[in-house]
Chain A
């Protein structure tokens, strides 16, 4: 009897091992472990055996049964796994095809990005951001910025004027002296601001010193060629407070230039003339393309035209005459001092990103916009 059980074990082992798939395993299970299987029959008839054989036969039979059960289970699991593997393999896809983005990637305009970058640098330096009107009174754009009527400096910026007949009823208008107009407005009383500087005076009218603001926004000049567009954007800065000096302006702009163009940059200040600052300066940053040498691969650097310097902004100490227009708001020209600066956002964006033509910013060709992530 024990020989029979041993044979069943050997046959069972071989059959389970030889089963090629889950069905064959099941077939083997039924054959060797099923209700009608030889081993089952032996175990079922154990009580009919002589007493001395019952123990050894029962032990051996149950051992073999457990072994075969284990082998069946193992084989079944193995075959199930491999069948799943086969099925999944049939589901293969081309992983090199493009994915499905949750949304198409959009882009901020390079001018917005540059403007925000400038804003963030000055926010870090303690400035707040002020907005001002683009359609402006002559008074704020010129007179209060120390451009008296008839002053040749008014000629520096060719101005767009607004047709007074197109203004709505009940708008409040002012003469170039800042007084409310009693007569009908003339063709030169309302204009498109030629710079963001009018906000200097507006801001000071509303707040006593200290004042640290920057004013980003659109400005307009009647000029159109390869290097001028009739609309462009500026960022104005104004810092008025206790003992603010020209050296502070220098340090502020050096910090700014390094933040925008890199830590190795230098700035250079050249005296200049603006009617509303005194002293006035123009500020150059050392060329980031050639490192300020003016030379690139033994040729003249095209970006700085070989000078090693890039002009980026105009600035100066606020002219006492400007404070004179807000004297009664806490700006006594004999006691307060501060600086102002103004820069073109397009110019900085062009320099930073190598945009060759100012007009491209306003064409909004998606092929250009998409380059600025």
Chain B
């Protein structure tokens, strides 16, 4: 909402500079986004002048040399190019030194050989209208030459650009803002402009000229109409054009300008019909037939649905209720009779239709916030006076008033208990101060013996202030929160802290960071075909109904896709190696778990989430592997680099993880493993497929993605119990096992551990050998075995039979002990 300062000050002037005024408004809830300006930076150097003579320019056909009395004691010569300049006119003059609206400083200048000491101004040059062709003629302004121009027209207007919150449609009108200024500063408020009405001088009563039938009273709580005859349509007076221009509206003609002006003043939109274009003066308010079409004032033909409300004449829609008028009955230069509609619409319906048609207007942004029916007649009265005054119109006696307002719009009285306010705010506001603030805001306040207030809500605030808490807010903000509110801390001694899963999640993220990975945060939404990465699009995603772009059309079902794109981008920048991880959610179109399982998507609340949102970590290593720097070995990234990360995480959590060969379309088919924890899947790890490597511009790469919930569920981290390992130390023994080259280490290790039983504490592979020392097609694995009993130091005699069992178990797998 743009509020020109001179207009605002004509109703309430707290005597503050624009900046101070803006600050005061902002600190009480009316945010001032900008203090702007329309017209010149100041009125200095702008005066009223009288054209004494206007002679042709000796050297230019289209210029005139004018002699102008600008009140400086002597007349001056001004060269003027406007076709309408003539002797005898009172005009607006900028003297040399004046700074014009476009920021240029006017100087004496020779125009085709004639020196010009000033400039005669047009509307556009003053930014008080949009006429740029001719100069403004101010005959009848009642001001003599030399009078400061700013005294006659607002040529240097300061405009407050206000952000009005949706609960305050009353501040979408200048008078409402003035009332707000009055409340927060205590400065006097001028009487409301709707205090008096125009004299009806028409011959026929309104009922003889028009009729209104409202078929949908629940969507149209009130419809008022007045008729005007003998209307002379023409340009508006300069003061009106100036106010509209400053408020951001383009002047059109006096009738349309009046409707806009009254809306900007009162907050209540109006609509003027050319009554002669409404057959029989008959108005019907109804919902549209589904698919019914009409052309709105902006020249667009629109197709309506069955819930859109239309204002119709006998032959069809002539206006889209509360949003925009229709072309059929538009007021034009030839209009002589005007029907002025001021109605109240159902806000929800207006918002719905305006969203449906993607058509927002000054009217709809007000109506959608629900205006009160009492506002309608205010606007009728202000408009009627202006119609008479500015268009020479005669007001037909009477007003058509179809008032169907529901009881929910009846006057409302709300109680205010000062002690309740104090207890909520944590500061004391004296009851009489509270009463004063509410009174200034336009509430009717009565106090009872106990100090409580009975507060009647004005129509302007009827839907915003309905409870005691709403009154408390009004009182608190006018009192001044920033100035008065103490800063205390809640009592109660609540204990804060991270939950276990949150602690472990941080541990894992820190671990990955300390293992040399950089954390990335990638978009939750991705493109439907996942950038063409094979296999990622296999899982059907949660799709957006209204995505911003195809690139962000569906929710990700994995984290690795985003990391691959980040890796590719960084490699393209010239980085030779990337090591990235992300900790975040995938979104799966599945039933979400119930109960507290936040890492699986089981959240607080009575209603489970619509989809499953498991928390995952993923990592991508790409480019050069091994160590960096001048001692780099430049080896490629391989499977074991990624698997090492999985094992590091598992070790930090104290979880046993298993690996088994698996396939994913984007991974090397023979170098990928499923990760399992306690028999259930927990993710995957693998080398990237060579074709994918080529696509992301990496010469080698590996990746992993893990579900955190199974990992954390199997973890005892943080809950360890001390185990005595020094009294009875372990007996270590190394064995070398020769088996077929495709007999995997996991099978051998599992067989060893199984055979070793409880006394075999661990069996770790510490060397792998294939070559001359073993037969072709075979390989040798070296394992370090640790035997330990908690209650005694093991003897050779005890270990020997275990060793025999291990040898037997190995032979069962086709392997044997070497040497």
> Known contacts A248-B426, A270-B482, A364-B580: does B524 contact A205 (CB below 8 Å)?
no
| Cβ-based interface call for A236 (8 A) | no
Asked whether B27 lies within 8 Å of A178 as measured between CB atoms, the reply is no
Q: Considering only CB atoms, which chain A residue lies closest to B25 in the complex? A: A270
CA distance in complex: A171, B497 (Å): 33
- Closest B residue to A172 by beta carbon equals B608
Most chain A C-beta atoms within 10 Å of own C-beta, residue among B27, B589, B592: B589
Of A106, A218, A268, the contact of B518 (CB 8 Å cutoff): A106
Check: A261 CB closer than 8 A to any chain B CB: no
**B476-528 contacts to A (CB < 8 Å):** 476-477, 481-482, 485-499, 502, 506, 509-510, 512-525
**Residue total for B at the interface (Cβ-Cβ under 8 A):** 110
Is the CB–CB distance between A231 and B525 below 8 Å?
yes
A108, A128, A155: residue with the most chain B Cβ atoms closer than 10 Å: A108
CB of A26 within 8 A of chain B?
A: no
A residues 206-262 in Cβ contact with B at 8 Å: 206-207, 210, 212, 218, 220, 222, 224, 230-231, 239, 241-248, 250-252, 254-255
* Inter-chain contact A134/B587, CB cutoff 8 Å: yes
Q: Which residue of B lies closest to A103 (CB)?
A: B516
B544 with A190: CB separation less than 8 A: no
Verify if A312 is at the interface (C-beta below 8 Å from B).
Answer: no
Partner of A140, one of B573, B589, B592, B607: B607
A127 touches B351 (CB 8 A): no
Q: Give the distance in Å from the alpha carbon of A128 to the alpha carbon of B627 in the complex.
A: 41
Do A106 and B515 have beta carbons less than 8 Å apart?
Answer: yes
Interface size on A, residues (CB 8 A): 110
- Judged by a CB distance under 8 angstroms, whether B470 is at the interface is yes
A13 interface residue, CB < 8 Å from B?
no
Closest partner residue, chain A, to B168 (CB atom): A273
Q: B424 touching A246 by the CB < 8 A rule?
A: yes
Q: Which of chain B's residues have a CB closer than 8 A to the CB of A174? A: 607
Q: Is the CB of A133 within 8 A of B515?
A: no
Chain A residues closer than 8 Å to B542, beta-carbon distance: 135, 162-163, 166-167
**How many A-B pairs fall under 8 Å by CB?**
322
Tell me which residues across on chain B come within 8 A of A152, comparing CB atoms. 166, 347, 351, 368-369
Indicate if the CB atoms of B611 and A150 lie closer than 8 Å: no
B129 within 8 A of A: no
B630 within 8 A of A: yes
Q: Is the CB–CB distance between B166 and A163 below 8 Å?
A: no
B473 within 8 A of A: yes
| CB–CB A363/B489 < 8 A | no
Is A112 an interface residue when CB atoms closer than 8 A count as contact?
yes
A178, B351: Cβ atoms closer than 8 Å: no
B609 in the interface (beta carbon within 8 A) = yes
Task: Say yes or no: B573 contacts A367, CB within 8 Å.
Answer: yes
B84 interface residue (CB < 8 Å to A): no
Which residues on A sit within 8 Å (CB–CB) of B476? 246, 271, 279
| CB pair A125 B425 closer than 8 Å | no
Q: Does B541 contact A (CB under 8 A)?
A: yes
Q: Say yes or no: is A153 at the interface (Cβ < 8 Å to chain B).
A: yes
**What's the least CB distance linking B344 to chain A, in Å?**
16
Contact A106 B424 (CB under 8 A): no
Residues of chain A lying within 8 A (CB to CB) of residue B491:
242-243
Q: With the chains together, A122 CA to B579 CA distance in Å?
A: 32
Binary B-proximity of A121-148 (CB < 8 A = 1, otherwise 0): 0111111111111111101100000000
Q: Determine whether B804 belongs to the interface, using a CB cutoff of 8 Å to chain A.
A: no
| Extra contacts besides A202-B606, A268-B27 (18): CB < 8 Å | A131-B603, A153-B166, A162-B543, A166-B541, A167-B611, A168-B588, A168-B611, A172-B610, A178-B607, A207-B604, A222-B546, A244-B490, A246-B476, A269-B482, A271-B27, A273-B165, A362-B523, A364-B522
24 sampled A-B residue pairs with Cβ under 8 A: A106-B513, A112-B583, A126-B492, A128-B499, A129-B498, A130-B604, A132-B605, A135-B587, A150-B349, A152-B369, A155-B166, A162-B543, A166-B589, A168-B591, A172-B591, A173-B610, A187-B545, A203-B605, A210-B492, A220-B524, A245-B488, A269-B481, A271-B476, A320-B469
5 nearest A-B residue pairs (beta carbon):
A247-B426, A245-B426, A202-B605, A150-B348, A133-B609
